[in-house]
């Protein structure tokens, strides 16, 4: 399935709207925590990366289409931002030359997200939701700070690291994820959501040095401006 076909799903749902389809918009808060591990080719002496959590937001539209009295499909199209930081320390010695790096990175990512959720109503207003999701990378800004030092014959030369990269080179442009959560629809059309997004694909294209999986908790407030029933 190519990107164009995926993005047409919400449109097809809207065009096929019947008395059993709700259409609405949503906005919310993201809180990302990354899972970072060393790759198979990481230099000996490299410490396990330490990743820190970071905030973001999302905004977009949804359609909820009844399949039965209790089941419904809910595709969404969202613009979403995520931020995180990570620290990395390594020290290698070759032929009496020791190279040491202590660095911290701060990343801000933006995605076009497409969750394809299946909802199960456990009551008139509360439902469980789960399904696959796809994230299409729109942009990336990474700032690296720290120091790099080389020690030879007892003399050490230290260089400061301070660089900003806005390129997406080396990053996967599409993320495949699984999403689970809760939805609560009020009679007035307000829609509350709580979800956990687990990325299955890595952030990096090349995982020789590090492997990063993105995990996001999303809290959202939506409103169904076209609705027939509680979804």
151 domain-assigned: no
72 domain-assigned: yes
CB 224 within 8 A of CB 188: no
121 domain-assigned: yes
Tokens 């009679």 belong to which residue?
187
Q: Provide the residue range defining the domain that includes 54.
A: 3-94+107-138+171-226
196 domain-assigned: yes
In the Cβ-directed half-sphere of 219, how many Cα atoms lie within 13 Å? 3
Report how far apart, in Å, the C-alpha atoms of 44 and of each of 47, 88, 109, 211 are. Answer: 9, 13, 30, 16
Q: Which two tokens stand for residue 42?
A: 């990481």
Domain count, the chain: 1
CA 91 to mean position of chain CA atoms: 31
16 domain-assigned: yes
CB 44 within 8 A of CB 91: no
CB 71 within 8 A of CB 61: no
CATH of the domain at 189: 2.40.160.20
Cite the beta strand spans of the chain per DSSP E: 21-38, 50-52, 54-66, 71-94, 97-121, 126-152, 155-165, 174-185, 190-199, 210-226
Q: Please indicate, yes or no, whether the overall pTM of this predicted structure exceeds 0.85.
A: no
57 domain-assigned: yes
Full pLDDT tens readout for the chain, 231 residues: 455 555 555 555 544 544 478 899 999 999 998 877 776 666 666 666 666 688 999 999 999 999 998 999 999 999 999 988 777 777 777 777 788 877 787 889 999 999 999 999 999 899 999 999 999 999 999 888 888 888 887 778 788 777 788 888 889 999 999 999 999 999 888 999 999 999 999 888 887 777 888 999 999 999 998 876 544
87 domain-assigned: yes
165 domain-assigned: no
**Collapsed DSSP state (helix, strand, coil) of residue 113:** strand
- In 3D space, the residue among 159, 1, 179 whose CA is nearest the CA of residue 76 turns out to be 179
CB 201 within 8 A of CB 172: yes
């Amino acid at each position: 399935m190519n990107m164009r076909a995926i993005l047409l799903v919400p449109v097809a749902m809207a065009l096929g709207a019947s008395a059993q389809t709700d259409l609405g918009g949503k906005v919310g808060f993201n809180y990302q925590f990354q899972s970072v591990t060393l790759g198979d080719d990481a230099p000996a002496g490299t410490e396990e990366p330490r990743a820190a959590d970071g905030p973001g937001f999302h905004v977009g539209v949804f359609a909820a289409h009844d399949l039965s009295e209790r089941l419904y499909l809910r595709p969404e199209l969202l613009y979403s931002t995520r931020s995180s930081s990570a620290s990395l320390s390594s020290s290698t010695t070759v032929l009496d030359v020791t190279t040491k790096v202590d660095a911290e990175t701060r990343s801000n990512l933006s995605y076009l997200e497409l969750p394809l959720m299946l909802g199960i109503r456990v009551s008139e207003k509360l439902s469980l939701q789960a399904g696959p999701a796809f994230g299409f990378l729109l942009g990336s800004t990474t700032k690296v700070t720290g120091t790099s030092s080389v020690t030879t014959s007892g003399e050490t030369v230290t260089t400061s690291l301070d660089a900003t990269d806005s390129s997406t080179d080396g990053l996967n442009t599409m993320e495949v994820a699984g999403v689970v959560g809760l939805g609560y629809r009020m009679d007035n059309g307000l829609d509350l959501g709580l979800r956990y997004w687990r990325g299955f694909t890595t952030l990096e294209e090349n995982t020789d040095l590090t492997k990063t999986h993105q995990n996001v908790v999303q809290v959202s407030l939506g409103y169904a401006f076209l609705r027939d029933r509680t979804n």
